[in-house]
């Protein structure tokens, strides 16, 4: 397989991963959390959130793994590591930061303590806990969408810093 074909395949995997991952984050943020806050009492809302978000967490782990691997593979194929030294590739820095944040949360923080913390907090104050979780999801979604927009523009020649 040629380098061009390898690059195309890596890009396909990368874009599909981003669509599933960030699209899922958008659904959880804009539909699921808002709906649970408005239409469910604390206990039933918590149970539904646990079921739905737990299933998405597995999907998110798989696709963030493939997204990261394909992204780093593209950098390897392009010998593009020096792009981290240039401000006009800010979107590459932001994409990497977003991937790193989600990877740490999904693979380290959530299994070690975030899941337990969320359950404990939600049992004490479900409304306040959902509000905090919703706010954090909105921040992460905003940063993620900025990274996606920057990557699409930057990979097609748009440069904010010349």
Residue for token digits 């593979």? 73
User: Distance between CA 147 and CA 136 in Å, rounded?
Assistant: 17
To the question of pTM greater than 0.85 for the whole model, the response is yes
Mean pLDDT by 10 residues, the chain (162 residues): 94 96 93 78 72 84 96 96 92 96 94 88 83 92 96 84 66
- Asked whether 52 and 32 are in contact (CB, 8 A), the reply is yes
pLDDT at res. 162: 62
pLDDT at res. 154: 87
pLDDT at res. 38: 74
- 131 to each of 34, 35, 36, 128, how far by Cα in Å? 9, 12, 10, 5
Domain boundaries, the chain: 3-155
- Asked whether 88 and 159 are in contact (CB, 8 A), the reply is yes
Tokens of 33: 């959390």
pLDDT at res. 54: 79
pLDDT at res. 5: 95
pLDDT at res. 40: 64
With 0-12 CB in 10 A as exposed, 13-18 as middle and 19+ as buried, what is 138?
Answer: middle
Q: Is the torsion defined by CA of 61, 62, 63, 68 positive or negative?
A: positive
pLDDT at res. 45: 72
């Amino acid at each position: 397989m040629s380098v061009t074909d390898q690059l195309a395949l890596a890009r396909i995997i990368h874009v599909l991963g981003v669509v599933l991952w960030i699209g899922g984050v958008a659904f959880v943020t804009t539909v699921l959390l808002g709906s649970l806050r408005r239409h469910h009492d604390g206990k039933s809302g918590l149970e539904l959130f646990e079921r739905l978000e737990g299933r998405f967490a597995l999907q998110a782990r798989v696709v963030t793994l493939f997204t990261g691997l394909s992204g780093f593979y593209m950098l390897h194929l392009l010998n593009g590591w020096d792009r981290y030294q240039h401000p006009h590739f800010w979107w590459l820095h932001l994409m990497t930061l977003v991937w790193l944040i989600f990877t740490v949360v999904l693979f380290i923080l959530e299994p070690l303590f975030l899941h337990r913390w969320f359950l404990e907090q939600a049992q004490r104050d479900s409304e306040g806990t959902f509000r905090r979780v919703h706010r954090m999801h909105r921040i992460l979604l905003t940063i993620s969408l900025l990274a996606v927009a920057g990557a699409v523009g930057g990979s097609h020649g748009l440069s904010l810093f010349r």
